[in-house]
Structure 1
Amino acid sequence: MQHIIGISRQQMRFSSLEDTISPDNQVRFIDAFVEFFDLSKLDFAVKTLKTEGRPSFNSKVFLKIYLYGYLNGLRSSRKLKKECLRNIELQWLLEDIRPNYHSISDFRKSNPIALKKLFKLYVLFLKDADLIGCETIAIDGTKSRAHNSKKANFNQKKIDKHVDYIEVKTQKYLNALEENDAKDNPAKIQNIQQK
């Protein structure tokens, strides 16, 4: 009896990126969410096309990368770049565009306020669409008294406090990206490449 045998690496396959992503995958939502917005209204620095030199990346590419990283806990431009190369979901989302880490980092550095607005809008949209923040309660035949606890009711002060909390968490995420980019030492990477 033999072990299960894989497909030869030299065998050609005909498939598309569309075939690899399921219809209910989160990257489809990220794509639709980013394509819906006019970036200039969110105060993003949209690059204009020039007649000379290499064309720039569309700003929506970087937004898709950052939203994907935000959802998956990727907090470094180098890690995001690595995921663009090996992650089939990001390849589908970016239509196989693979920007380098420096371009990803520069976009964040030139648009910090707009990114905060986008993350806030994204979380609020997900909450309004009942895609996050829903709680499920199951009762196993136990009778319980109804009560209105401090955690269960909301007033304007609590809502404002929660919005401030979201802004602080977003700033922490952006700071973590900055710190991780600073930790990655390019001289060390060049030394590895030389070896």
Structure 2
Amino acid sequence: MLSTSKVVFKDYNPKENLLFPPNLSELIDEKHPVKIVSDIIDGLDIKSLVNTYKPGGTSCYHPKMLLKVLIYGYLSNIYSSRKIEQALKENIHFMWVSAMSRPDHNTINRFRSQRLKGEIKAIFTQIVLLLEKEGLVSLETTFVDGTKIEANANRYTFVWGKAIKKHKARISQQLEELWNYAEKVAKDELQDTENIDFKEVDSEKVTQTITKINEVLRDKKAPSKVRQKLNYAKKNWAANLDKYKKQQEILGSRNSYSKTDTDATFMRMKDDHMQNGQLKPAYNLQISTNRQFILHYSIHPNPTDTKTLESHLQGFEESYQKVPKELVADAGYGSEENYNLLKYRKIKAYVKYNYFTKDQKSGQITTSQNNPKLAKIREKIFKLLNTPKGVRLRKQRCHDVEPVFAQLKHNKNFKRFLLRGKIKAELEIGILAIAHNLKKMAKAA
């Protein structure tokens, strides 16, 4: 027998107006991260940020609102200003935190790249100090590590230090060959000329030398190849040397830089499924962590971690007016310079050296006949790392700092900067670090 009962549906009429509009706050859970972001930012001192605005003119969006929107955007893996603009129209959490304000993507981007420049580190530091006050982190023990993040730059337009040296050496060699030819066919005209050092040439020296060669060869029947070389040299060599000089100034101590982001250095990245190294313009991000919270961050143009520790610690001290009592790091930081630096700063160094694992297996400390001072340092570090506390901190490092990078690069999918230049890249990491810390704080609530 067929059933005569009817299917009952709940009322559904999307076009019906509500008598009382819903309160957005009631639709969001009290422990939702967006409310944690709002509460924390409301409690910050942002006078310095407010002072970047000039009185008069049209009204501006409140910086606290824009800061909340940006941080919650990064917390939600939304980094594009255009996508944040869209979320402000469609996402209930963005609508609530912005109080239904709808700044466009240009306003959001200007606030991020201009207003927050020079301000984000102080805001980040306030939040870390709040975490310390709540007992969620300690500034006494820090775990330090680094990772490479791709710059927002063209991967195929670059300048290499070796190439500059090669081009300059070629100019020097060809200039010397032209001079030697001129001496051969016009020795009398050049006998009173001062000796020229062809190893170090600049645009002025090249111009003077080419002019002199042209003068002495004016009445000589030089081969067409020599004439062509002289004409090319006159038109190009001086200008090229000036260009190489500017490029070397940008390079500094680096070996390369990107033409579209001159602060970025080409680094070997292991980001494909086979873990094959690929050279890409990037920055070396250094972080200090405690209980998987980020305590400090810094951006560096050099690919190796060894040379980053001094400036990283200096930044830590500038933020907190003190340095940590204990520092834990892997063998990438285990240089004689870094051990001496930590000793000078009175920081206990739980830092491996490059032969530590080998020494653990053999039970014998690797010595260095060429550097007895380093050998003594290794003996002390080996003993310290094998104390009960040293063993505990070595194990903890793997579970403290490395998961933070996994969160940033894989869970948050932050593998490439949106902004160009070291200052703006550091600013973007500041926003990301705040978002990371507040998300962890929300989970602990």
TM-score of the aligned structures, taking structure 1 as reference length: 0.62
Establish whether residue 177 from structure 1 lines up as the match of residue 183 from structure 2: no
| Partner SS for 1:113 | coil
Two-structure CA RMSD over aligned residues (Å): 3.6
Tell me the equivalent position of 1:19.
Answer: 26
8 A Cα contact 2:88 2:95, kept in partner: yes
Pairs within 5 Å for 1:162-173: none
- Larger strand share, 1 or 2: 2
Match of 1:57 among 43, 57, 61: 61
Question: 1:133 is matched by which residue type in structure 2?
Answer: Q
| Partner SS for 2:123 | helix
Tell me the equivalent position of 1:148.
Answer: 392
Question: 2:87 is matched by which residue type in structure 1?
Answer: E
Match of 1:133 among 279, 283, 292: 292
**Identical positions, percent:** 21
Distance in structure 2 (CA, Å) of the matches to 1:24 and 1:118: 22
Match of 2:80 among 76, 79, 85: 76
CA 130–44 in structure 1, closer or farther in 2 if over 3 Å, else same = same
What is the CA deviation profile of residues 59-90 of structure 1, one whole-angstrom value per residue up to 9, with x for unaligned ones? 11111011101211111101111111111111
The number of residues matched between the two structures is: 152
Question: 1:72 is matched by which residue type in structure 2?
Answer: S
Match of 1:91 among 92, 95, 104: 95
| Partner SS for 1:151 | helix
| Partner SS for 1:31 | helix
CA 75–112 in structure 1, closer or farther in 2 if over 3 Å, else same = same
Distance in structure 1 (CA, Å) of the matches to 2:106 and 2:417: 16
Unmatched 5+ residue regions in structure 2? Answer: 1-5, 138-290, 294-387, 421-445
CA 44–6 in structure 1, closer or farther in 2 if over 3 Å, else same = same
- Larger helix share, 1 or 2: 1
- When Rg is computed on C-alpha atoms for both structures, the one with the higher figure is 2
| Partner SS for 1:178 | coil
CA 26–107 in structure 1, closer or farther in 2 if over 3 Å, else same = same
| Partner SS for 2:101 | coil
Question: 1:24 is matched by which residue type in structure 2?
Answer: K
Establish whether residue 114 from structure 1 lines up as the match of residue 358 from structure 2: no
Tell me the equivalent position of 2:13.
Answer: 8
| Partner SS for 1:27 | helix
TM-score of the aligned structures, taking structure 2 as reference length: 0.30
Question: 1:130 is matched by which residue type in structure 2?
Answer: L
Establish whether residue 104 from structure 1 lines up as the match of residue 108 from structure 2: yes
CA 106–63 in structure 1, closer or farther in 2 if over 3 Å, else same = same
Structure 1 residue 27: deviation in Å? 1.5
Structure 1 residue 8: deviation in Å? 0.9
Unmatched 5+ residue regions in structure 1? Answer: 135-145, 154-158, 180-195
Tell me the equivalent position of 2:52.
Answer: 46
8 A Cα contact 2:88 2:102, kept in partner: yes
